[in-house]
Amino acid sequence: MSYNDEWPESDDSGHSSRRRSSKPKFRKPKVLEPEDLTPEEWDEKARTALINQLTRGPRTKKQLAQMLAKKFVPEEIATALLDRFEEVQLIDDAAYAKAFAHDRRMSRGLSKSALKHELGQAGVAVELIDEALEPIDSEADTELAIQLVRKRWSSVRNLERDARYRRLSGFLGRRGFSGVAISTAINLVEREQQDL
């Protein structure tokens, strides 16, 4: 026993007793199993969870299915509810894909290929992704890359040319732009800056 350890207290009988910790004991919440609730109770629980998620923003059918699975909602109840929500257009993967693509392109400057990847990860069907991204062609991607380089130029203008190119190409590469779009954008903005 080290000097820092407390000696056990002894009561009148001479027996030692340790001080009890006054820290409250936390119990993990009980995980509900399918047999814990009736089908009607599961239906209500799942419906509430779906509405809560959708009030925070649009979600894909796959994202919502994964959320219900984590809550151990029986598969047949989850599937029926998801299909019903889709039928009344509370779940709309096509609208989700278009809104997501527009938002990410404006806010983060993502290329068509990066958007395609992220929408695929969210569980949107390939044909819906293609439909949502149809207006974006290689020219639109190159134009966006040029705009992004112009915005970043002031932060890299004092670097040596090779370092500047590496920094800008890494920045655009992380947003999914092709090598052609990257080099076109950097070279064009470089020329613009030399002409100033």
pLDDT, residue 18, reads 52
Tell me which amino acid residue 8 is: P
pLDDT, residue 9, reads 46
Whether the model clears a pTM of 0.85, i.e. scores above it, the answer is no
pLDDT, residue 109, reads 96
pLDDT, residue 7, reads 40
pLDDT, residue 195, reads 77
pLDDT, residue 148, reads 97
Vertex 173: Cα angle to 167 and 174 (nearest 5): 95
CATH architecture under which domain 34-91 falls:
Orthogonal Bundle (1.10)
Low-confidence ranges of the chain (pLDDT < 70): 1-35, 196
